[in-house]
Amino acid sequence: MNRKKNNQSEYFQMVYRLVRMIPPGRVTSYGAIARFLGDPRGARVVGWAMNDAHYQSEYVPAHRVVNRVGMLTGKHHFGSSEAMKELLESEGIYVLNDCIQDFKSRFWDPLKELDQDAFF
């Protein structure tokens, strides 16, 4: 069977498009992205999308996506384990022990900040 890589699927593209809309200096979570896309349990799939984000031709700021408590669980998927942290700190987000400091006020919830109708 011809099961080609489906990382160009519409769902993945929506994930990438949304991630690109995250303002610099702000972060969001996999679950928040999934919920915004109408898939409350799709957090792991968003993680999958991030896994392929590296191969997208257009830049995807995957470092602005962390898990729901603000931990850099995906840092090992960057070039070096410090790359993600440094990208964040270059935007003014401070990271201590893989945790985003002041995560609550840095959190960017697409459901609140973005118009769903405009996105789709």
Which residues are at the interface with DNA (CB under 7 A)? 1, 3, 5-7, 9, 11-12, 29-32, 39, 41-48, 50-51, 53-54, 62-63, 65, 67-69, 73-74, 77-78
Shortest Cβ 7–DNA spacing (Å): 6
Shortest Cβ 41–DNA spacing (Å): 4
Q: Select 29 or 106, whichever has its Cβ closest to DNA.
A: 29
Name the token pair of 102: 């002041």
Within 8 A by CB and 6+ apart from 30, the residues are 43, 44, 46, 47, 50, 65, 66, 67, 68
Shortest Cβ 90–DNA spacing (Å): 16
Q: Select 6 or 101, whichever has its Cβ closest to DNA.
A: 6
Q: How far is CA 118 from CA 22, 40, 56, 111, in A?
A: 15, 20, 23, 12
Radius of gyration, CA atoms only, the chain: 14
